[in-house]
Amino acid sequence: MKIIKDRKEAADFLQRTSVEFEDTPALKTSVEQLFGEKLTLEQAVVRIIDAVRQRGDEALLELTAKIDGVKLSGIEVSNNEIAAAYDVIDDELLGALELAAERIRAFHEVQKSNSRTDFMDDELGQLVFPLERVGLYAPGGRASYPSTVLMTAIPAKVAEVKEIILATPPAKDGSISPAILVAADIAGVDKIYRAGGAQAIAAMAYGTESIPKVDKVCGPGNIFVTLAKKNVYGAVDIDGIQGPTETIVLADDSATPLFCALDLLAQAEHDEMASAIMITDSKQLADSVVKEIENQLETLERSQIAKESIERNGAIIVVDSINDAIDLANTYAPEHLCLTVRDPDYCMSRITNSGGIFVGESSPEGVGDYVAGPSHVMPTSGTARWSSPLSVNDFLRTSNVVAIKERSFREIGHAAAIIARAEGLTAHAKAVEERLKKLGEGSE
């Protein structure tokens, strides 16, 4: 893992690029093989979306066979399959999923209690409504992520969304991971569908014979899922454009080198495009962490993925002070920011841009990803500057209520008419003025 000491080199390294939309040689080849011609990823995704939009289930089944190599006899997962999944997973995993669900639900119930706005002076306010139907996406392929199901479905359930559906890629035999099925059942998902990639997003956005159209699509996925969400936005709402996952470990010489190394590797093992970065004011810690990474790397099941991620996007940046480290972290705006410093309160008082902050060595990101409580679906690619982690509020909508009393209308109506006439909207002005005239006549 490279160590960067020069401030300008560090700033250049942390400079964002649209890596999530990069056409790698391997992706270009696979797209050409799939469509028989050279297309950008964006063009390929648009073709997939158009096919599903126009031909529904027929296109969905055809694309699943062509892209995933899976010939499906049915798209919806039956209740019997879900019930059978409980017999497959072990009791230890079941207990862990139930504990995680309990903590996620408790955290988001508190959010819900703070999400409703009452009327003000009986004249102004907001009515809060849950969305009618949301579609969740849970990645598959190299690994299945039951935690993602819990982290997306439970906030929606707490928000009282009326119907929650889940799309997730099937295995080669058409089955769905038992852990995914159990997590969905625990979280209260209503329907589960065997569909992955851009075609799954298109199906939820526009609807097919089997999959109903939703109001919002949520959940992370690969580059095709990300581009599909970007393209269907407007037809439906989305939670965000999630790029490759990323972590900054901000540490001083009080940190344990082994823990820092494992936190970095935990990020790197997600995929080759993940970013695992440490910023520290201790050269000695940096050297020790490099050695620990080398020692631990070969013990991982996904060591090759982690190694490529570290070589491509990983670094340890050595700065002069913790203040410099905080400044760099704020500029990068990471999805995850792990604080292993003597004075975390001081650091937190200066941190402005981060999806999630993990404070102290007993709060590793690994706990946050699974059982802490807040959703692990968080902004990436620098979007933490303006967006937030998934929450109950993502599944609510509001309607403003204006119920002005006559007394207030007399006080503010004339100003409204003045502004309306200044904008050349005469009917607006007259609609107010005539009412004021009538009120004036009534008072006589």
Positions annotated as catalytic residues are 335-336
Backbone angles phi, psi at 205, to 5 degrees: -75, -35
Contact between 200 and 119 under an 8 Å Cβ cutoff? The reply is no
Q: How far apart are CA 286 and CA 228, in angstroms?
A: 40
What are the structure tokens assigned to 40, written together? 């950008």
Tally of CB atoms within 10 A around 22? 11
Burial of 30 per CB tally in 10 Å (0-12, 13-18, 19+): middle
- Residue 397's DSSP bridge partners are 129
Sequence-distant (6+) residues with CB within 8 A of 179 are: 85, 89, 93, 97, 144, 146
Q: How far apart are CA 122 and CA 107, in angstroms?
A: 31
Contact between 353 and 359 under an 8 Å Cβ cutoff? The reply is no
Alpha-carbon dihedral 37, 43, 45, 47, rounded to 10 degrees:
-70
54 to 43, 69, 203, 325: CA distances (angstroms): 16, 22, 10, 51
**Torsion sign over Cα 232, 234, 238, 241:** positive
DSSP for 33-90 reads: HHHSS---HHHHHHHHHHHHHHHTHHHHHHHHHHHH----S-SBPPHHHHHHHHHHS-
Q: How far apart are CA 244 and CA 386, in angstroms?
A: 18
